[in-house]
Chain A
Amino acid sequence: GQQVMQIPQYQHVQEGEDFTTYCNSSTTLSNIQWYKQRPGGHPVFLIQLVKSGEVKKQKRLTFQFGEAKKNSSLHITATQTTDVGTYFCAGLQNTGNQFYFGTGTSLTVIP
């Protein structure tokens, strides 16, 4: 079945350091989405990537979709305490209309 894995599961960084989480799918994806869940909150949509090799930026966040459309990454430059939370990727299979959420990466930023 469809599996979407993320690494690392947990990441602690000093404020100001960079952070990257990686998302890998067992099958080719139609598109991929990223969500952020703050502690005690619910997942909130960040961005969607559709094209092979696509790169999108949101301020200090850079999102990339792999050439083979089976992996993606989220990179945060110069982390801030407001970046704390769990980041999930969600992949949409080519043959379906249902997103499969990744296992998530929990980010802690140490002031």
Chain B
Amino acid sequence: ETGVTQTPRHLVMGMTNKKSLKCEQHLGHNAMYWYKQSAKKPLELMFVYSLEERVENNSVPSRFSPECPNSSHLFLHLHTLQPEDSALYLCASSQVWTSENIQYFGAGTRLSVL
């Protein structure tokens, strides 16, 4: 248990569905992240929230919409996804602006888009 909880662990959705991924951190961190990990590809940073404000959006398609209502919760809203969006979606948190800016990852949500 890393202190970062992601739900659901597995998700299968059609291209017309709307779903949301949830992430919760119990570490008191001030930054949260969404990463996409596809087979045989490096970790791709999607979104960064620092102090609840989005500070980075690495040109992610608009069918992915993040939401960070407070420092402990992070959502990724999904709509009209494509099969190539099937991947492991990892949430992480860290304490930025400190010497211990270590990323703690959740177990991930394995997403399959049919």
5 closest pairs, A vs B, by CB?
A: A42-B105, A103-B42, A101-B43, A45-B102, A97-B96
Interfacial residues of chain A within 28-42, with CB under 8 A of chain B in the complex? 33, 35, 41-42
| Chain A-chain B contacts (Cβ-Cβ < 8 Å), number | 45
Complex alpha-carbon distance, A58 and B56, angstroms: 33
Q: Does A44 contact B (CB under 8 A)?
A: yes
The count of chain B contact residues (Cβ–Cβ below 8 Å) is 22
Chain A residues with Cβ under 8 A from B104's Cβ?
A: 45
Asked whether, in the complex, the Cβ of A43 is within 8 Å of the Cβ of B106, the reply is no
Chain A interfacial positions (CB closer than 8 Å to B): 33, 35, 41-45, 48, 50, 88, 90, 92, 97-104
Main secondary structure of the interface of A (DSSP, over half): strand
Q: Does B101 contact A (CB under 8 A)?
A: yes
Complex alpha-carbon distance, A44 and B102, angstroms: 10
